[in-house]
Amino acid sequence: QKEVEQNSGPLSVPEGAIASLNCTYSDRGSQSFFWYRQYSGKSPELIMSIYSNGDKEDGRFTAQLNKASQYVSLLIRDSQPSDSATYLCAVQYGNKLVFGAGTILRVKS
């Protein structure tokens, strides 16, 4: 059973702070990792992908991958109320993308 684990939250941060979202996965052979954002009542949308160990930055978002520890994280700098959503970690296993249950993020103004 391929597993992707996330803390369900909610994670509450004040506006302007850094939000840190974490994800662990079970299969060391995984090569592709994704973060999706999902607003309430909407479909998931891709915000970051990462394939190599280390950090990948895109605007206010930074994805971090540590394959030895089987750990993926997403940092959101200067958090805004509009960042309030559920963040889904997804891991590619062969032909399939397996999702975690998601972490609810609330940014308080």
Partner 1 sequence: NAGVTQTPKFQVLKTGQSMTLQCAQDMNHNSMYWYRQDPGMGLRLIYYSASEGTTDKGEVPNGYNVSRLNKREFSLRLESAAPSQTSVYFCASSEVPTGTGNTIYFGEGSWLTVV
CA distance 75 to 71: 13
CA distance 72 to 84: 20
CA distance 57 to 59: 6
Interface stretch with partner 1, choices 19-27, 37-45, 54-62, 69-77 (CB under 8 A): 37-45
Does the footprint of partner 1 cover residue 82 (CB under 8 A)?
Answer: no
Q: Residue 10: is the preceding peptide bond cis (ω within 30°)?
A: yes
- Exactly one of 76, 88, 105, 107 binds partner 1 (CB under 8 A); that residue is 88
- Exactly one of 21, 44, 76, 87 binds partner 1 (CB under 8 A); that residue is 44
Contacts of 64 (CB under 8 A, 6+ apart): 50, 54, 55, 56, 71, 72, 73, 74, 75
Interface stretch with partner 1, choices 9-17, 54-62, 67-75, 97-105 (CB under 8 A): 97-105
Nearest distance in Å: CB 65, partner 1: 13
Note the residues at the interface with partner 1 (CB under 8 A). 4, 8, 31-32, 42-46, 49, 51, 88, 90, 92, 94-102
